[in-house]
Structure 1
Amino acid sequence: MLVEQRDFTLLGKKKRHAHISVIPTGKLRVNILEDNAEQEAEFSQLWFSKTGTKTLLVCRDESKVNWQIDLSNKDAKELEHLIESAQEDYEILMRDL
């Protein structure tokens, strides 16, 4: 189980960059490089919403939005795949223990 890391250019007026780490124990860490701001979320808190050519990644607790970022559909699809793969790897490891 390894932490997968990717760098994405966020959509929007300001072309900000995000360094995203997918942690196999069920966490996602997002570091917005220009703001030097780091956010973290459990996989269960994440929600992807595709509209046109972009996908909004939202972290929310119950009904409150903690943070959100705009990704290209391609980047969001890659990130979803990394999260699914991390979840599967973690489940396999737990079964083997």
Structure 2
Amino acid sequence: MGVHLVDSSDTSLVPGSYNFEQILINGTWDGRYTFIEPMVTREWLQTNPNLRQELKQPQAFQKTGYYPTSYGVHVDEQTKDYVISLAGLTMRTAS
């Protein structure tokens, strides 16, 4: 599973009073960045959200690869499927 990390500069994350609906979790394993994971509640999805937000970018990258620059959630009007996406994949060089 690794270690889950959240943005400590997010002022909405107050222990004991945070009302979780949706959040992005970053994670590490053995000291290496390994994932970014959108987490949402079923109840929030049922509100038919239409969310798109830019992702904060780190100052450095451990490994060269494609990294997302935005996060989105919406309901596809034709299929009625929930679409949760990490988008704007951009090549970053390890530094």
Whose Rg is larger?
2
Larger RCO: 1 or 2 (CA < 8 Å, sep 6+): 1
**TM-score, normalisation: structure 1:** 0.23
Q: Which protein is richer in helix relative to its size?
A: 1
Would you tell me which structure has more strand in proportion to its own residues? 1
**Alignment TM-score, normalising by the size of structure 2:** 0.23
